[in-house]
């Protein structure tokens, strides 16, 4: 243990301190991953990622074609073609852009292409600001979804995403999601690894199947009779991805000295907790502050940060949940008609077969860029503690308006 | 933890100025967060950026409701007290771009320190345009103990390496020397 800590500490000195926005961190990660083909169509709050990549290319810092397209549907088609040739590809989009890609997202998954897409999340209904409705709406497309809490994790997770997606056991596309504006346009102090370190962590993409070749044409994506079989295999690959996400998280820690829980889920002060907040993205940062505060007052509260939404870590949740009396989910999305959010549904589904399960409450906040304040998170924590004490829940789903 | 709220107008470089402040703090070993409050910005419209500085990592990315101080890049915004004053802590700090001496400033909140500088005049005489972000950084540095001038200069050199670099550095130094600070109760 000591030697690993020592290695991590000495590694850290090879990293330089910088102050980057989430989008700058995403562009830098793509450059350091030595991406070979880029395509994207501008949409706020994604645009500054591709602007930065265009600047890298113009300055000679990155050698990759950046394919200009007339919209996101074509963008994903271009990425699909490029990835079929064996190239490491990068794209980024948000909100309506992802909605417009929808059909092509299935196509990329059906060919098991390890495409990485950065997504600063954006509301779809009526605003340019953040909520997670855009990627929640793509949860059945067969793309993995990892949630980054802050700017440092955006950089780290994009580097990890290539390693996860390109692993032979996985070979599936992946979105790295983070809060639009709150993370994408906010500058933060962070550490940037050296190119040598990144190269040692992330070698070139290995192609396990024949690449497309103009001299030997073939037809893809015509009607297939084995859809049942390949969809089942794809689901197995996504289940296997849980192991790979955890492995990659450990390996990243060994090289760069940074770790995010077990890769799927991060627990904070959960050991003796009676009540926990379960949240994702930047809200987890606020929840850390609130948990510290309430621990100071003697409350037995903890935080579970969900990092991998797809694949959803059911097994890990089943291990964790019996230890608590109440879990309050805080999420930035809502499924109309269900009256609750998507994370709440997944969590309750995972908990159903447990003999002993906690009360599970849902809090919906921050839609369309509404601020999730520290007071909101305090109220979520108080509700969880109350449910843990009384064993009953008055209100299953709460909408967080301005306090 | 120090929390500041920065008010400017679209085109005055509030967002870039706060990025410089964040990088300067990072280079001198602190942690910083610069959080622009986005709506539908356009040139001339009021712009707000929140800044946090701390010796330990910053996890709170929500807006700053009760700043320890405000920084105002545009003299006309001083008339919009309903915009710049709400939530400002008693005993806080104000760093203002105005020709007025600090003794003439009344923000209707008891403050510990009020600093004024004619950042517009300094920007015009150095850069040739009323872009006041670098000048106000000089004033911020002179007024608070958070950022050191050397690191602000290094951060500007890294983030604004164009033809105007020397002029921007001159603006920072001029403002740093010419800021008038009034200590209050």
**Within 10 Å of residue A394's Cβ, how many Cβ atoms?**
10
A104 and A176, same domain (yes or no)? yes
Query: Do residue A217 and residue A340 come from a single domain?
Result: no
Domain boundary among A256, A284, A308: A256
Q: B58 vs A188: CB contact, 8 Å cut-off?
A: yes
Last residue of a domain, one of A218, A237, A256: A256
Q: How far is it, in rounded angstroms, from Cα A143 to Cα B155?
A: 39
The whole-angstrom separation of Cα A240 and Cα A235 is 9
| Inter-residue contact A303 to A277 (CB < 8 Å) | yes
Provide the domain limits for residue A10: 2-256
Place of tokens 């510990």: B112
Residues A293, A245 share a domain: no
Instruction: Name the E strands within B77-153.
Output: 92-97, 111-117
Rg (CA), chain B: 15
> In a mutagenesis test of the B interface, which of A17, A186, A281, A400 is the best target, namely the one with the most B β-carbons within 10 Å?
A186
Q: What was the pLDDT predicted at A8?
A: 52
Residues A370, A399 contacting (CB under 8 angstroms): no
The residue-averaged pLDDT of A24-46 equals: 97
**Is B59 in contact with A188 (Cβ distance < 8 A)?**
no
Reply yes or no on whether the pLDDT at A1 is more than 50. no
What does DSSP assign to residue A356?
S
Which residue from A259, A241, A67, A242 is spatially nearest to A170, judged by alpha carbons? A241
Q: Are strands A187-192 and A16-21 parallel, antiparallel or unpaired?
A: antiparallel
**Helix (H) or strand (E) run with residue A384 in it:** helix A374-390
pLDDT band at A216 (very low <50, low <70, confident <90, very high): confident
Q: Are residues A158 and A53 in the same domain?
A: yes
pLDDT digits (tens, 9 = 90+) for A237-270: 999 999 999 999 999 999 999 999 999 999 999 9
CA distance B147 to B168: 17
Task: Tell which wins on pLDDT, A401 or A48.
Answer: A48
A240 with A296, same domain: the answer is no
Pairing of strands B2-9, B111-117: unpaired
CATH at A197: 3.40.50.970
Residue A337: partners with Cβ closer than 8 Å, 6 or more residues away: none
Confidence (pLDDT) at A5 = 47
- Shortest Cα–Cα distance, A153 to chain B (Å): 12
Question: Does A120 score more than 60 pLDDT?
Answer: yes
Quote the mean pLDDT of chain A.
Answer: 94
**B184: enclosing H helix or E strand:** none
Per this entry, what is the length of chain B? Answer: 185
- In order, the DSSP letters of B7-47 are EEETTS-HHHHHHHHHHHHHHTT-EEEEEEE-SS--TTSEE
* Residue A281 burial by Cβ neighbours in a 10 Å radius (0-12, 13-18, 19+): buried
By a Cβ cutoff of 8 Å, what residues of chain A touch chain B?
17-19, 128-129, 150, 179, 181-183, 185-189, 282, 285-286, 288-289, 369, 371-374
Q: Which of A33, A123, A10, A118 is nearest to A368 (CA)?
A: A123
> In the structure encoding, which two tokens stand for residue B101, read together?
């001496």
Range of the domain at B174: 2-183
CA distances from A344 to A50, A263, A279, A301, A306 (A): 34, 20, 10, 19, 12
Question: Does A173 share its domain with A279?
Answer: no
Are A43 and A16 contained in the same domain? yes
- pLDDT for position B38: 73
Q: Are residues A153 and A295 in the same domain?
A: no
Render pLDDT for A71-106 as a digit per residue (tens, 0 to 9). Answer: 999 999 999 999 999 999 999 999 999 999 999 999
Residue, of A208 and A201, whose pLDDT is higher: A201
Predicted local distance difference test score (pLDDT) of residue A68: 94
Cα separations (Å) of B45 from B74, B77, B121, B133? 11, 10, 21, 15
Please give the average per-residue pLDDT across A19-34, as a whole number: 98
C-beta atoms of B35 and A182 within 8 A: yes
The DSSP bridge pattern shows strands A359-364 and A397-399 to be parallel
What confidence tier does A11 reach under pLDDT thresholds 50, 70, 90?
A: low
Specify whether A234 is located in the same domain as A134: yes
**Buried/exposed code over A163-187 (b: 16+ C-beta within 10 A; e: otherwise):** bbbbbeebbbbbbbbbbbbbbbbbb
Q: Which residues of chain A neighbour B26 with C-beta distances below 8 Å? A: 17-19, 189
- The three-class DSSP label of residue A267 is strand
Nearest to A19 among B32, B38, B57 (CB): B32
Quote the pLDDT of residue A3: 43
Calpha distance A90→A101 (Å, rounded): 14
Same domain, yes or no: A170 and A236: yes
Any idea what the Cα angle at residue A314 is, between residues A324 and A155, rounded to 5°? 100
**Which parts of chain B have pLDDT scores under 50?**
none
Name the pLDDT band for A14 (thresholds 50, 70, 90): confident
Are B30 and A189 within 8 A, CB to CB? yes
* B26/A contact by beta carbon, under 8 A: yes
CATH of the domain at B13: 3.40.920.10
Total number of domains constituting chain B: 1
| Claim to verify: residue A291 and residue A176 sit in the same structural domain | no
Tally the domains of chain A.
Answer: 2
Q: What percent of chain A has pLDDT over 70?
A: 96
> A136: pLDDT confidence band, cut at 50, 70 and 90?
very high
DSSP calls for A121-167:
E--SSS-SS--SHHHHTTTTSS-EEEE--SHHHHHHHHHHHHHHHHS
Distance from CA of B3 to the nearest CA of A (A): 14
**In this complex, do A188 and B22 lie within 8 Å of one another by their Cβ atoms?**
yes
Domain of residue A317, CATH code: 3.40.50.920
Cis before residue A341, ω within 30 degrees of 0? no
pLDDT tens for each residue of A365-376: 999 999 999 999
Interface touch A373/B25, C-beta < 8 Å: no
Residue of A nearest to B33 (CA): A188
* pLDDT tens-place string over residues A56-79: 999 999 999 999 999 999 999 999
CA angle A7/A13/A18 to nearest 5° reads 135
Question: What percent of chain B is modeled with pLDDT above 90?
Answer: 92
What is the DSSP annotation of A219-265?
A: --SS--S-HHHHHHHHHHHHHHHHHHHHHHHHHHHHHHS---TTSSE
Decide if A282 and B58 are in contact by the 8 Å CB cutoff. no
Return the residue matching tokens 């709406």: A137
Please list the residues that pair with A303 across neighbouring strands: A268, A277
Which of the listed residues A235, A256, A277 is the one where a domain comes to its end? A256
């Amino acid at each position: 243990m000591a030697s690993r800590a020592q290695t991590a500490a000495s590694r850290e000195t090879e990293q330089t301190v910088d102050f980057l926005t989430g989008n700058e961190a995403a562009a830098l990660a793509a450059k350091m991953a030595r991406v070979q083909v880029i395509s994207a169509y501008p949409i706020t709050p994604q645009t500054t990622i591709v602007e930065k990549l265009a600047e890298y290319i113009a300055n000679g810092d990155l050698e990759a074609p950046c394919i200009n397209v007339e919209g996101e549907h074509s963008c994903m088609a271009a990425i699909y073609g490029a990835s079929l040739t064996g190239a490491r590809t990068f794209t980024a989009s948000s909100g309506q852009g992802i909605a417009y890609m929808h059909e092509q997202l299935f196509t990329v998954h059906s060919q098991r292409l390890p495409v990485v897409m950065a997504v600063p999340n954006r509301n779809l209904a009526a605003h340019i600001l953040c909520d997670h409705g855009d990627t929640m709406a793509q949860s059945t497309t067969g793309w993995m979804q990892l949630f980054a809490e802050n700017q440092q994790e955006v950089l780290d997770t994009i580097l990890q995403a290539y390693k996860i997606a390109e692993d032979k056991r996985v070979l599936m596309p992946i979105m790295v999601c983070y809060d639009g504006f709150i993370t994408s346009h906010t500058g933060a102090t962070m550490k940037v690894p050296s190119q040598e370190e990144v190269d040692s962590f992330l070698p070139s993409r290995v192609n396990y199947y024949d690449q497309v070749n103009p001299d030997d044409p073939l037809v893809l994506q015509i009607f297939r009779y084995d859809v049942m079989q390949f969809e089942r295999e794809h689901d197995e690959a996504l289940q296997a991805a849980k192991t790979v996400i955890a492995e990659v998280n450990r390996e990243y820690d060994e090289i760069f000295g940074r770790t995010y829980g077990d890769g799927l889920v991060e627990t904070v002060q959960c050991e003796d907790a009676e009540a926990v907040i379960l949240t994702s993205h930047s809200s987890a940062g606020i929840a850390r502050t609130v948990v510290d505060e309430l621990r100071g007052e003697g409350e037995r509260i903890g935080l579970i940060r969900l990092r991998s939404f797809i694949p959803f870590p059911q097994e890990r949740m089943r291990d964790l949940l019996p230890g608590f009396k109440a879990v309050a989910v805080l999420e930035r999305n809502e499924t109309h008609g269900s009256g609750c959010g998507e994370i709440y549904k997944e969590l309750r589904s995972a908990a159903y077969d447990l003999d002993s399960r906690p009360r599970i409450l849902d809090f919906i906040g921050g839609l369309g860029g509404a601020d999730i304040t520290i007071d909101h998170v305090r109220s979520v924590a108080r509700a969880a503690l109350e449910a843990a004490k009384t064993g009953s829940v008055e209100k299953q789903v709460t909408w967080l308006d301005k306090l | 933890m120090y929390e500041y709220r920065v008010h400017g107008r679209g085109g005055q470089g509030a967002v870039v100025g706060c990025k410089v402040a964040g990088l300067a703090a990072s280079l001198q070993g602190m942690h910083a967060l610069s959080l622009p409050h986005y709506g539908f910005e356009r040139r001339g419209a009021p712009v707000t950026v929140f800044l946090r500085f701390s010796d330990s990592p910053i996890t709170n990315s929500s807006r700053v409701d009760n700043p320890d101080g405000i920084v105002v890049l545009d003299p006309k915004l001083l008339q919009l007290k309903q915009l710049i004053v709400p939530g400002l802590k008693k005993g806080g700090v104000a760093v203002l771009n105005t020709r007025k001496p600090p003794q003439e400033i009344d923000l209707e909140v008891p403050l510990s320190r009020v600093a004024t500088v004619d950042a517009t005049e300094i920007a015009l005489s150095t850069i040739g345009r009323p872009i006041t972000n670098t000048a106000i950084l000089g004033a911020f540095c002179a007024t608070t103990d958070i950022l050191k001038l050397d690191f602000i200069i290094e951060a500007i050199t890294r983030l604004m390496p164009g033809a105007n670099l020397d002029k921007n550095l001159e603006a920072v130094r001029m403002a740093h020397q010419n800021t008038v600070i009034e200590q209050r109760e």
